[in-house]
Structure 1
Amino acid sequence: MPAAMKSFASTTAVALQIAGSASGVPYLGAAGEILGHIIVACDSVTVNKKKAKAIKDKCTQLQGLLAEEQSKVDGTESSEHVSEAIVALDGIRSRMSRVARAKSWELWKSGSLDATLERCKQDLDLTQEKLNLKTQLTLVAGQQHLRNKTDSIEDAILDLRDHLRTIVNSGRLPREVETSLRNVESDTNTGYVQLMEAGQRGVRGLKLSTSTPSSLIIASEETASPTSSPGPSRGGSKDTHDLERLEDTLYKFHVKTGTLPANKVLNEEIVKVGELPIAGGVYSDIWPGMWLGHKKVALKALRNTKADDPRAQARFVREVTMWAELSHEHILPFFGIVTGIGKHIHMVSPWQENGNILVYVESHKHTNRLGLIKGAAAGLQYLHEKKIVHGNVKCTNILVTDKGEACISDFGMSKLVEEVTATSASATLTQQDGSTRWLAPELIMGEISSPTLRTDTYSFGMTVLELVTGKHPYAEKRNYLQVIQLIGKGQVPQRPEEIRDDKVWQFLLKCWQHEAKRPSMAEVNAELEILL
């Protein structure tokens, strides 16, 4: 094969392999390589060059079609289309390779050359037609799905508007709800938030006009199911029906548009489930709950914050409102707070059935642990770019979504609790071995009182160690006071047998360097990418 032809085939294959990698279509590179071989074989044909050139030109067109295919539809759909094309292309390559190796004059005399070339051309035409048709069908299906989704959103918006107006006109809600509906903008994100707020006003108005707000009720597991009403009768069948329907339509609106609660004080919208908390951390006890009688949420009762403290309430609302503006796939969203359940303020966030990252990998043994925690690194990097310090990074504060992605929770809580309680974060975090094993030396030894971006990096390194080994840092030391002594002496954890890769261990040692030398989370994320 001439060098120029080899170079052309190689360039073609590499270009499509790169495109396939970028688009998530694993067969694209293979298709490109096969087409390159066919093109080279066509150039080797010495008899009936016109037909061989037609096949070569058709292959070039097909390369363009494959590149266009990967830009129009997602990786899964493209993979199915391209994998089918590969079967046909490989047959053509095989026939053209035999033609290129044989003596073309003898093939021409026997009549088989023309027949072989004609069959190859017809197969290429058929392959191209199939790819064109399947791409068009996929695009049409995608457009139809988008139209259905748009119609579904519009229906949810109209249902919520109409039901709110009906209740206002019946006199069971104040006219201010109608005023807020008139002020709702067009179907934009801002308009969705305004409509969510109007719906929340409606729920609050109906509940306060009847009986005890349901947020004061602690339901049993049986009575607070996703399909049940969140509380007992609220003052008459008509009011009860209207409230249940409003909660239904508001919840559907949330599901269809993804709009989070606009009003961050959720006292009339939340029910706590059960008599006892199911988990606890440094700052809080965690309870399951229900929002609008449908969505399961996590309620974190903050032990050192009083629900009747106006200053604490205002500070929490301000902070949660700011957190609600954050948007990242690896950050757990906040819904708001509840101040009407017991004596503590409760933080509200979506419930994650998979639990924290350590629990998840224990039940999913074949999970790539570094790959999973890289999502948390990306979330932490995002927070740092927003100048938000997490302050308590460890496995229990990294949850796993239904999609199997890691997401950061409890970010900013250390600073918030510090401000509300007037107790330093370092003092709170080191109480009874709460988070001592994950904390940077400068926090442990009292050199600083509040966590920083660099202490987050240190804690993230400890979290990776915890995830890989399935054990707390310094697991050989049961007494946390011994751990404090080791940290004071500048001793890092011993290298565990689970970490066999020297590069991974060196990566962790970088995270545990002196504060000034520690990498930023952007650098940590980049190095994790290399390790993977």
Structure 2
Amino acid sequence: MNKLEQILRGFVSFTELASSSGFLPALPGACLVLEQIWGTVDRVKGNKERCKVLRARCVYIFITIRDNATGVEDPLNRERCKVLRARCVYIFITIRDNATGVEESALNQTVQAFITTLKGIHSSMNKWAEWGSLKSFVKNDEISLEIERSMSQLDACCQNLQIATQLQLYSLNTQMDAARESDQLELKKMMLTMLENQEELREDMGLLLVNMEKFTDIMKTFQLELRSHPVGSSTHNNISRGLLGMQQASGQLPPIAFLEGHECTIVSQAPIAGSTVYDVYEGLWLGEEKVAVKVLRSSKASEGNVRRFHRQVDIWHRMKSKYILRFYGVASITGGSSFYLVSPWCENGDAPKYLKKNPNANRLKLVLEIAYGLRYLHSQNPPIAHGSLQGSNVLIGDGGGALLADFGLAKALEDLTAVPFTQSTGANGCYRWMAPELHEDGGQMTLKSDVYSWAMTALELYSDKVPYSRIKMPGSVVMEVAKGKIPERPRPGANRTPSTGSTTGGRDGIEIPDRLWELLVRCWSKDAVNRPTIQEAIQELEDMRRYGPTPMEM
């Protein structure tokens, strides 16, 4: 309790204030509202200290109006107010008599404005007092703004009455600054208390989701707070569970993509997969969700390459589509010499492995969903080329749907590791899926090169083999592509060469419908201009699903 409150509570009641205000008819009404504000503040849960300062300012202005009404006919009341002022001198400091000669009508007009301000403050505080902890937390910015607005209105009353000295304003502003710091500490305690009750948080999630911009700000606050507590502590665990609950309820990721080891931990002792430039480990996201963690083996990047990588991370983190694997974030390790990337764990694995376990899966549906994912990337502003599309970069979600992964990753890894992206994806490289123009020096990844790779991926999923599977050496594949030769068309139960019609024994996945094969051939055009856009390919695929064989046949 500050000194002003001690004085007012110890030496004077609101009844006495009201009874001593008879010289101005409007002041008893102001005193009534003031008494209501006084009691309401104690019930406010958020920003309480600043509310107390606001309340004190209301009392100060009320008493000052009364004490400075010199010239109004009621000298007895004026003197009683001076006595009260003397008893409160060390907090009020000096109340100068600046209202001399002011007509009663003019003074009453100012008092009426003051009453209106007090009623507004009382209404706001009543509203805040009824709010629970979560709503007070969510509405904290609104409360702060309203407090500042009320303070400005009270300052205006002071200016109208010409009763505010610089010393008084400095004292009040100092009180407000201290109250603001106290409220921030109280806000933090409220947040941690709220996170301890996960059930209540889940029940009130709808309140948080009303304003997604505010929701994101709250998630950021929680994420930053998480980093100030030791991993494994009860507070760290509570915040982690709260963040994960908010993520699951909203589909919104914690907004800071650059992690600091608090959001994700690696739990597997050894890599479970990998390539020439990274190892894949099993991890836990926010203490509960299983995730895949790609740890780069080393980084030889320049500062410029690291900056480009950071820009790519921002792009990955923003992408949100049912056909795109979410990207949770990235963190530097071992003093910044390397990085790890975090994404959801897909129990079904990649598309080729999934189809081997589920040969009757609807392949046309998967091929179409991959195209939807590409369309999403190509429709961004500016458009995004995947750059390394192949079956291993298509993961299968829990519901059996296709999810594009690692878009833009090959080039980013090349920047970071100095390993050419054609060598970063394993023994087969990515030559078999690459458009002809990318085999040339200076070849650039484009939307049309993505369409070419999409068609090769479709062939891979239908045939259960990599493109040009008869050719063992990647270099020989490049030569075939340079000659304009396309892959053989797979036939169930036999291998058939389209140009000769000859067959040999053996199974090659399932039949590719004629219309789909014709589409794939157009996508493999050596001249990129002649390839369809991904949207044109989607339109044909949708027609095939609508009018073609039953899904099981595809």
Q: TM (normalized to structure 2)?
A: 0.55
Measure how far apart 1:502 and its partner are.
Answer: 2.1
Residue 325 (structure 1) aligns with: 318
Q: Given the alignment, which residue of 384, 388, 404 partners 2:384?
A: 388
CA distance in 2, matches of 1:186, 1:393: 35
Q: Which amino acid aligns with 2:540?
A: E
CA distance in 1, matches of 2:373, 2:300: 30
Q: Given the alignment, which residue of 286, 293, 303 partners 1:299?
A: 293
Q: Given the alignment, which residue of 529, 547, 553 partners 1:516?
A: 529
Measure how far apart 1:247 and its partner are.
Answer: 1.6
Q: Compared with structure 1, are the counterparts of its residues 155 and 349 closer, same or farther at alpha carbon in structure 2 (3 Å cutoff)?
A: farther
CA contact (8 A) 2:330 2:342 kept: yes
Other structure's SS at 2:295 match: strand
Other structure's SS at 1:417 match: helix
Q: Compared with structure 1, are the counterparts of its residues 471 and 296 closer, same or farther at alpha carbon in structure 2 (3 Å cutoff)?
A: same
Give deviations 1:186-207, integer Å, cap 9, x for gaps.
Answer: 8411111111111111110113
CA contact (8 A) 1:296 1:351 kept: yes
CA contact (8 A) 2:243 2:254 kept: no
- The sequence identity of aligned pairs, in percent, is 33
Are positions 1:441 and 2:436 aligned together?
Answer: yes
Measure how far apart 1:172 and its partner are.
Answer: 11
Q: Aligned runs of 1:26-425 on 2, under 5 Å? A: 168-169=188-189, 187-207=210-230, 231=232, 240-267=233-260, 268-281=262-275, 283-303=277-297, 305=299, 311-340=304-333, 343-386=337-380, 387-421=383-417, 425=421
Other structure's SS at 1:206 match: coil
Q: Which amino acid aligns with 1:455?
A: S
Other structure's SS at 1:346 match: strand
CA contact (8 A) 2:452 2:524 kept: yes
Give deviations 1:161-194, integer Å, cap 9, x for gaps.
Answer: 79x9679449999xxxxxxxxxx99841111111
Measure how far apart 1:377 and its partner are.
Answer: 0.3
Measure how far apart 1:479 and its partner are.
Answer: 2.1
Other structure's SS at 2:490 match: coil
Q: Given the alignment, which residue of 497, 516, 519 partners 1:504?
A: 516
When Rg is computed on C-alpha atoms for both structures, the one with the higher figure is 2
Q: Aligned runs of 1:407-486 on 2, under 5 Å? A: 407-421=403-417, 425=421, 427-428=422-423, 432-444=427-439, 446-486=440-480
CA distance in 2, matches of 1:518, 1:479: 27
Other structure's SS at 1:254 match: helix
Q: Structure 2: 5+ residue runs without aligned partners?
A: 1-130, 141-183, 194-206, 493-510, 546-554
Residue 540 (structure 2) aligns with: 527
Measure how far apart 1:486 and its partner are.
Answer: 1.6
Give deviations 1:372-423, integer Å, cap 9, x for gaps.
Answer: 2211101101111211010111111111111221111111123333444566
Q: Compared with structure 1, are the counterparts of its residues 314 and 391 closer, same or farther at alpha carbon in structure 2 (3 Å cutoff)?
A: same
Measure how far apart 1:250 and its partner are.
Answer: 1.9
Measure how far apart 1:312 and its partner are.
Answer: 5.0
CA contact (8 A) 2:436 2:482 kept: yes
Q: Given the alignment, which residue of 481, 487, 495 partners 1:487?
A: 481
Residue 37 (structure 1) aligns with: none
Measure how far apart 1:254 and its partner are.
Answer: 1.7
Q: Compared with structure 1, are the counterparts of its residues 453 and 303 closer, same or farther at alpha carbon in structure 2 (3 Å cutoff)?
A: farther
CA contact (8 A) 1:306 1:345 kept: no
CA distance in 1, matches of 2:443, 2:330: 27
Give deviations 1:453-512, integer Å, cap 9, x for gaps.
Answer: 111111111101110011111111222222222222221111111435322221111111
Q: Compared with structure 1, are the counterparts of its residues 171 and 368 closer, same or farther at alpha carbon in structure 2 (3 Å cutoff)?
A: closer
Q: Which amino acid aligns with 1:196?
A: M
Aligned residues: 335
Measure how far apart 1:367 and its partner are.
Answer: 1.3
CA contact (8 A) 1:315 1:420 kept: no
Q: Compared with structure 1, are the counterparts of its residues 186 and 488 closer, same or farther at alpha carbon in structure 2 (3 Å cutoff)?
A: closer
Give deviations 1:351-385, integer Å, cap 9, x for gaps.
Answer: 11121112222222221101122111011011112
CA distance in 1, matches of 2:367, 2:186: 49
CA distance in 1, matches of 2:323, 2:137: 30
Residue 34 (structure 2) aligns with: none
Residue 171 (structure 2) aligns with: none
Q: Compared with structure 1, are the counterparts of its residues 157 and 316 closer, same or farther at alpha carbon in structure 2 (3 Å cutoff)?
A: farther
CA contact (8 A) 2:277 2:417 kept: no
Q: Compared with structure 1, are the counterparts of its residues 510 and 399 closer, same or farther at alpha carbon in structure 2 (3 Å cutoff)?
A: same
CA distance in 1, matches of 2:435, 2:531: 11
Q: Compared with structure 1, are the counterparts of its residues 155 and 511 closer, same or farther at alpha carbon in structure 2 (3 Å cutoff)?
A: farther
Other structure's SS at 1:353 match: coil
CA RMSD after TM alignment: 3.4
CA contact (8 A) 1:429 1:436 kept: no
Q: Which amino acid aligns with 1:324?
A: H
Measure how far apart 1:433 and its partner are.
Answer: 3.0
Residue 76 (structure 1) aligns with: none
CA distance in 2, matches of 1:188, 1:296: 29
Measure how far apart 1:344 and its partner are.
Answer: 2.4
CA distance in 2, matches of 1:388, 1:156: 43
CA contact (8 A) 2:284 2:291 kept: yes
Residue 123 (structure 1) aligns with: none
